[in-house]
Structure 1
Amino acid sequence: MTSSDAPSPAEERRRRVGRAAVFALVTAAVLFGVGGLVRSRWDPLISFDDDAVGTLVGITVDNPWLLDAAHVWELVTQPFLLHTLGTLLCLWAWLRRGMRTRAWWAFGTLMASWVVGLGAKYVFQRARPVIEDPVSEAPGYSFPSGHALNSAAFATTVVILLWPLVTRRLLRGVLVAAAVVLVAVTMADRMFLGVHYPSDVTVGVVTGAGLALASFAGFVGWSPRRPEVVDDPDATPSSTREESDGGPVDDASTARPRQHRES
Structure 2
Amino acid sequence: MAFDLRRAEPGRRSVLGWLAAIPAAIFVILAIFIATDAGPVLDLDDEVANWAYDVTAGHAGFVSFLDAVAVIFSNLACGIALALLAAFALYRRERMVAIWIVASGIAAIGGNALLKLVFQRDRPTFVEPLHEIGGYSFPSGHSAGAAMFFTVAILMTIILTGRGFKRRIPVTILGLLAIGVGASRIFLGVHYLSDVIAGLCFGMSVTLGLWILLVTNATRLPHGSPSSPARDASVWPSSSTRSRSGTSRSSRPACGSSPSSRVDRTALVRDDGGRSWSRTGHGRAARRGRPDHRRRR
Same-fold call, TM cutoff 0.5: yes
Identity of paired residues, percent? Answer: 27
| In the alignment, structure 1 residue 112 sits paired with structure 2 residue 107 | yes
CA contact (8 A) 2:33 2:41 kept: yes
Q: Aligned residue for 2:294?
A: none
Amino acid at match of 2:145: N
Provide Cα deviations, 1:198-229, integer angstroms capped at 9, x if missing partner. 00001110111111111112234425xxxxxx
Out of 126, 134, 138, the position equivalent to 2:129 is 134
Normalising by the residue count of structure 2, what TM-score does the alignment of the two structures yield?
Answer: 0.67
Q: Aligned residue for 1:6?
A: none
Provide Cα deviations, 1:41-95, integer angstroms capped at 9, x if missing partner. 2111111111111111111113221111101111111012112101111101221
Q: Aligned residue for 2:225?
A: 250
Amino acid at match of 2:172: A
CA 1:222–1:180: 2 relative to 1, 3 Å = same
**In structure 1, distance between residues paired with 2:78 and 2:141:** 11
CA contact (8 A) 1:19 1:218 kept: no
* RMSD of aligned Cα (Å): 2.5
**In structure 1, distance between residues paired with 2:167 and 2:15:** 25
Please state whether the residue corresponding to 1:140 is helix, strand or coil. coil
CA contact (8 A) 1:136 1:193 kept: yes
Q: Aligned residue for 2:243?
A: none
CA 1:243–1:183: 2 relative to 1, 3 Å = closer
| In the alignment, structure 1 residue 43 sits paired with structure 2 residue 39 | yes
Out of 87, 91, 96, the position equivalent to 2:87 is 91
**In structure 1, distance between residues paired with 2:56 and 2:217:** 48
**In structure 1, distance between residues paired with 2:93 and 2:209:** 24
Q: Aligned residue for 1:259?
A: none
CA contact (8 A) 1:110 1:157 kept: no
| In the alignment, structure 1 residue 145 sits paired with structure 2 residue 120 | no
| In the alignment, structure 1 residue 200 sits paired with structure 2 residue 175 | no
Q: Aligned residue for 1:67?
A: 63
**In structure 1, distance between residues paired with 2:157 and 2:59:** 37
Shift of 1:111: 1.5
Provide Cα deviations, 1:100-132, integer angstroms capped at 9, x if missing partner. 221222221221111111111111110001113
Shift of 1:29: 3.5
**In structure 2, distance between residues paired with 1:105 and 1:19:** 19
Higher-helix-fraction structure: 1
CA contact (8 A) 2:112 2:141 kept: yes
Shift of 1:186: 0.7
Instruction: Kindly indicate whether structure 1 or structure 2 has the higher relative contact order, using CA contacts under 8 Å at least 6 residues apart.
Output: 1
Shift of 1:252: 1.6
Q: Where does the alignment leave 5 or more consecutive residues of structure 1 unmatched?
A: 1-15, 224-233, 237-241, 256-263
**In structure 2, distance between residues paired with 1:168 and 1:51:** 42
Out of 145, 150, 155, the position equivalent to 2:150 is 155
Please say which structure displays the higher CA radius of gyration. Answer: 2
Amino acid at match of 2:129: P
Q: Where does the alignment leave 5 or more consecutive residues of structure 2 unmatched?
A: 1-12, 231-297
Q: Aligned residue for 2:267?
A: none
Amino acid at match of 2:212: A
